[in-house]
A and B are shown apart, each in its own frame.
Chain A
Amino acid sequence: MVALLTDFGFLFGDPQTVTTTLVDTFDGRLRRAGLRLELRKSEQLELVLSGDDIVPARLTVERAPSVLADLPRGPFRSRIAELIDVRALAPRLRVRMNCSTGVWRDSTDKAVSIAELNEGARVLGRPDGERATTIEIHEVPGYAKQAVRVREVLAGVGLVEQDHDTLERCAVESGVDLAGFKGSATVPLDPQMAAIDGFRAVFANLAVAISANWQGAIDQIDPKFLHDLRIALRRTRTVLRAATSVVPTDVSTAAAEGFAWLAGATGPSRDLDVYLLEWEHYTGPLGPEAVSALAPVRDLLEQRCRDAHLELEQTLQSDRAVELITEWRAWLTEPLDRADLPRRAERPLGKVVAKRIDRAHSALVEAGRMIDPDTPAEQVHELRKDAKKLRYLIECFGSLLPDKPRKRYVKHLKALQENLGEHQDAEVHIALLRSLTPELETAGAGADTMVAIGQLTERLNQTRIASRAEFAERFADYDSHRTQQALDAALDAISS
């Protein structure tokens, strides 16, 4: 092959052993955006960001980046920053091969086509399979004709053009899924199916999300694992509550109790994660002096966060947690004894779900109308929880509901939730700051730190007051004829 291309005019360099690692987030965000991030190790370590019809960008690095902050500021980092956000970058496929690059140059010594001969490519960490040799012809932009000519010559000697390049082919052959975990709140459902089958399908889908994020939350790979685990647990609890008279009482009672305990255990870690993630947003406007004075607060928050994670890790690895998940999964997979099911289990899923969503909506509206400027914060927090539960129900049974009215309804519900969330986050974070103060005083924190805590508390309090003042408007927007119309249209479609 090399001889043929050499005769054609290519000049090949010495072969090099190259280890290429495809890097992406756990949920494959880069791939979904049409990007590919490779870490190439030969004489040096180089990151290459490319994609279909995308000019590749290269960056020499000293070590593999695992989070965004490991990359230097600049266009390379900016391009992937919004995509990966807080997610960690992890290897998805590692391939080692001997690589020789051949360059075909024109009369002015300009490269007009590149050939890459990859020999003995093998996926590291997988059973050693067939080590094929491939040749990749890279078209040089502006010199398309030359690449066509080279491909014609190679086809002429019997080479077959492949759909995938060497790395993609290695992934396919070794069964590595480069797409990453793609969790969805809902699954395909039919309004006419038996309610018990629909609920079990939703629970099974949530159980997949719980399992997928379990180890990542223990290992603290990134904060999104705990976030997604917590959401999956909360959704499970919400659907369990809606499963009254559908799921056998002994099953739902045990599961509800177990998942309440587990979801509760994830709370402190997640609250502290959120605080630390929002830290710059909270403290930045206070100015550099205050930020510097607040360093002991951040240190203490980080310490508390580490302690909370340690506790969570122990909970997730406990016998009780493992037993809960194992028994839950067993119930979801074992055949049902259909003779002994609660009275609504065999009713059409659409009718049951429509009724539960309608009831949750009515309860939320009723509770919301009771809120006035003097309502205690606890009651506002309860409203927030009700709104969340309703949203989870709509998301988990989302595939039943027609898209248009569902999205219209969720838009208003989401706006209300954002307002309630802002209020609650400020409440929680003020309380947390107050709880830290005695410890900071004991540790000898300076007056500047105490003044900065006062400034931060005041800023959070302003956010709390502003969101509370905005509540009436947001709620009125939600509690409107058009929102009710959107919900009716969504529920009518599944309850007839």
Chain B
Amino acid sequence: MVGREICGKKVELLANAFQQNIREDTPQEVIDALNAWKENPTDFYLMFSAFLSFATDNAKDPRLPIINAEQKMIGLYLAGFTLGIDIDVLIPLLTSKSALKMVQLTRSNSFNQQEGLFDIEAVINYINHPNI
């Protein structure tokens, strides 16, 4: 996960909170990364900070359901952030018609007697193996 190339960009881990031998001096690459964090849109903790802020402020400012990040789909967003995928790639992908159809398959409808699937993983399994 760390040190691989994802979506054309190399993902690196610079600061390690669990490092045992803490260095006295600060490495130059960490200083460069801290200075250039505005140009680093795939930073994992920045994305999680933004999502946690949106989730707690959802009552007065519902942004996450608007970008299709409800409880069924938010796991895919978080998995994408963990892999270092940019939101310029993630949001158009997870608000596309295919993604909305996947969420629709998880919803049940008593009027049509339609049983919804449990979660997105069940939907993916259903798409891959529809006869099982």
The judgment on whether A and B are partners is no
Residues of B within 8 A of A (CB): none
